[in-house]
Every structure is written in structure tokens, then in C-alpha cells.
Amino acid sequence: MATRLSNAITDHLPPSVRRPRYDRRAVATGIVHLGVGAFHRAHQAVYTDDIPAQDPRWGIVAASLRSPETYDALAPQDSLYTVSVRSQAEEDLRVVGAIQRIIVAPRAQDDLLDVMTDPQTRIVSLTVTEKGYCHDPATGALNEAHPDVVHDLAHPGAPRSALGFIIEALRRRRAKGVPPFTVLSCDNLPSNGRTVRPVLTRFAELGDPKFERFVADEVSCPSTMVDRIVPATTDEDRKRISNALSASDAWPVVTEPFTQWVIEDRFPQGRPAWERAGAEFVADVEPYEHMKLRLLNGSHSTLAYLGYLSGYETIAVTMADPAFVRLIQGLMDEEVTPTLQMPLGADLISYKRALIERFKNPALKHRTWQIAMDASQKLPQRLLGTVRDRLREGASFDRLALGVAAWMCYVTGVDEKGAPIDVRDPMAARLRELAQSAGGSAERLAEELFVVREIFGDDLPKDPRFTGAVTNGLKSLYEKGAKRTVTNLPG
């Protein structure tokens, strides 16, 4: 297919395909987004794409902090791409134009810092995943030995990390008398704004103790809760979507109909009217964030480890097994819901019912292997926070413990049939070494992995209720396998 998606052909797309209804050339840059992955393009960028027709101040310049892959795919398309919203019955296509251009940070550090320093930029948002914050997931503190932190403190004008770019841009803005931008984390971290603030202030303090006070006092970091399932795009998706467009799209994104964005309304320099696109502004996002992290993300991770070990390639295939539906319903109802404190009017029953249906959606081929990535960074937020609350209440958490045990099996790098597992994790080498020293013993494996303080902290390994429950789950996985273990769980 010779024709490439671009500004020049948007008016000639099929009538069923939605496209930008504003002049992209007239849109100013109000947002710099760090981490231009599929989730941002299916979520925040879609909300923002509804704004310029009424308010053209809020275009996005997006930056990739590592790979040029997204730039290489979308630059020839004027940064346009298609969002495919798939349900079991139909597919809705929308070409999104909110991203004005993409910067590959390692190639163009000065360009990125210049646009972040521009007075028109009033928000810097992030989807850099948990590991992009260069922090200790168990404590939330900045990892001062992280190679990117060490590099950026030594070379502030040539940063590598999101933290380094933010602090250097804030420093330059202050020197020019430009007010600081709002830092808007859209990652799955508990109280993500309150997580990024101490990391940023500590980073600033290490570079200049006086500047730390400015960052602490003047930089707003509202928390957000983001919710949309976005599996990796496949070649089949590219072909199907390009055929529907009658034009080639090198990197569309595929997602589900459900989308949610809850935001604390603290934007000193202004913000887009995202509420027009369905975002919800609240005084405190924490209850919603706990709901999503523990119900959706905690269930997703549990399904990923146990589903992969059971031989299931996707979440939908995993949820076609009634035993896994019972597992997740029990985990949500009996172990997670009692730890949540939701505002009056929040409908947890409907939310959980919708989650089960979303997980079952066969149109979303969300791979268990993909969700299992970077688990060492995710486990503390998705499962272990809930475990700690259950321990404080003296309540059971057997399903949560089984999820942790399944993760332990997964990071050994060998599945139940003896085949290798491609474990993608910042701590993969260390975890594999610890697993190898266990010599095939479930008890030894648990003992070896419990010492990883960055994941389990100092408290959980000392609590026999926690170590016993996880070890029992691990023994069952070793003796019976994942599928039989889940099938034999009480209903």
C-alpha cells in the first residue's frame, strides 16, 4: 500500500474513520510528554485531541527517552496515528492528531530542553513506567546509585532520565524568570504525584541544595488515576487497520472501549479542559488509584504469572478458564475490596463486574508475557500493599500470596515444561542468580527471593504469616503446577 497516513490525506479517509477537526498548524505546544508509548497514545493523547477545536493552546510534543522506534514509525506520518477501539462485536477507528511532533531525546537533548523551557509549555506529563522514576519501589526513595541518576547529576546539561530532563528544564526556566510547569505523572504508581515529588526534590537537592527548596515549594505534582487496557500492536493489527484506512499506518494502537482518567485539579499555570473529553477532576485521587491498582492491576499481574505458567498466551484465553474467573472474583471480593475506602457513590460492584468483562474481551490479545514485564517494579504497588493491609487486619490473603508465588516461579526463567522464559525485568539477572542457588527447592527459592529488599522491604520477610502463605503457594505450584493449583482453590 503506497499511500502513507499524513496530514495531506486525512480529508480523503473513509467516512467511518474519525479524524482531527481542527487546523493542526494553528495549535501551540502546551504539553511536553515524556515516554511516548502505546498507552499515552491510546489514553492522554486521545483526551487531548478533543481540545484544540475549542482551545488551540494544548498541543503535545512527545519525547522518547530511549528508542527511536516510535519516531521512525510516525515522523513520516506527520505524527498522526490510528487508535483502534475494539469490542467483541466491532472496531472503531480514529486518527489522532494531538501529538505535533516526536523528539528522540538521546539524539536531541537540547531540542527537548528548549521546548520544556518555553513559557508556552505549562505541563510536563510522564508515562515512563515504574522503572523510569529511578526509585526504590519498596520505599519510594530515589535510588541515588542508579546509573542514570549518577550520570545526570554529573552532566545536568545532557540528561538521560526523565528526572534529569525535568530538573534541568525547571532550573533553566527559573534562571529565565519563567514559572515552573506542572509535573503530571500518568503511570501506575500509588499516589503517583506524591511519589514523584520526593524523588524530584531529592534529585534537585543532590545537584543544588538551594534549588531543592524551590522545587518543593513551587512545582505542582498532582496525582492521577489512568485506566485503559492497551495491548501491544501486532502486524495483523497494522495490516487490518491500514486496509480499513486505504492508507498505511506504521504504528496504530489497539485498545478497549473503556477509558478512565481521574485527576487532582492542581495546575497553577492552567490546563486543558479535559473534562470535556470525559476526564474527572477531584480533590483527592488516592481512593480511585488504590481501587485501580489493587483491583485491575493486581488482578492483571496475578493472571499474567499464573496464566503464563498454565500455558495461556493472553488474558482473554486465561479468563476463558472458569477456574481463573473464580480466582479473580475471589481475590477482588474477599481480599482486595475490604482494603478500599471509596468516596460515597463509588460503585465497586459495577467496576468489578466491568473488569471481568474487560479481561474476557477476545478482541484484545493482551499477552500474559507482556503484562509480566518489569514485575519487580510492579509487585510492591499491585500486590504487596494490599497484603500489608490484610496483615494489619489479621485477615487472609491466600490468593494474593499465590500471585506472589507465581511471580517467584516465573522469574526462575524456566516454565513448568522446562522451556526458557524470556524474563524482561531490570532485576532479571539478579533474580535468576538467586533462583539458581535455590537448587529446585520451593522453600529455598522463597527464602532466596524474600531477601530482595527493593521488592519486599524489611517487614514482610520477617512476618511468618506472609512467608508461610507464599511458601505454601510455591509448594503447590511446584507439586501440582499452576493450572491444577488454581483449579483446586476453594470457590
pLDDT digit of tens for each residue in the chain (491 aa)?
A: 569 999 999 999 999 999 999 999 999 999 999 999 999 999 999 999 999 999 999 999 999 999 999 999 999 999 999 999 998 779 999 999 999 999 999 999 999 999 999 999 999 999 999 899 999 887 889 999 999 999 999 999 999 999 999 999 999 999 999 999 999 999 988 789 999 999 999 999 999 999 999 999 999 999 999 999 999 999 999 999 999 999 999 999 999 999 999 999 999 999 999 999 999 999 899 899 889 999 999 999 999 999 999 999 999 999 999 999 999 999 999 999 999 998 888 899 999 999 999 999 998 889 999 999 999 999 998 999 999 999 999 999 999 999 999 999 999 999 999 999 999 999 999 999 999 999 889 999 999 999 999 999 999 999 999 999 999 999 999 999 999 999 999 86
How much is the pLDDT for 364?
Answer: 86
Do residues 299 and 355 share a domain? yes
Helical packing angle, 464-480 and 385-393, nearest 10°: 120
Query: Which domain, by its residues, includes 310?
Result: 286-487
What is the distance between the alpha carbons of residues 198 and 135, in angstroms, rounded to a whole number? 10
How much is the pLDDT for 2?
Answer: 66
Do residues 426 and 309 share a domain? yes
Under a CB-based contact definition with an 8 Å cutoff, are residues 256 and 229 in contact?
yes
What is the distance between the alpha carbons of residues 263 and 29, in angstroms, rounded to a whole number? 21
Do residues 272 and 341 share a domain? no
Angle at 32 between CA 148 and CA 277, to 5 degrees: 130
Do residues 273 and 312 share a domain? no
111 within domain boundaries: yes
Domain C-terminal end among 282, 308, 339: 282
Q: Count CB-CB contacts under 10 A for residue 107.
A: 11
pTM: 0.83
2 within domain boundaries: no
97 within domain boundaries: yes
317: its cell numbers = 484465553
Total of domains in the chain:
2
Domain C-terminal end among 236, 257, 282: 282
230 within domain boundaries: yes
367 within domain boundaries: yes
How much is the pLDDT for 228?
Answer: 94
Do residues 379 and 247 share a domain? no
Do residues 219 and 260 share a domain? yes
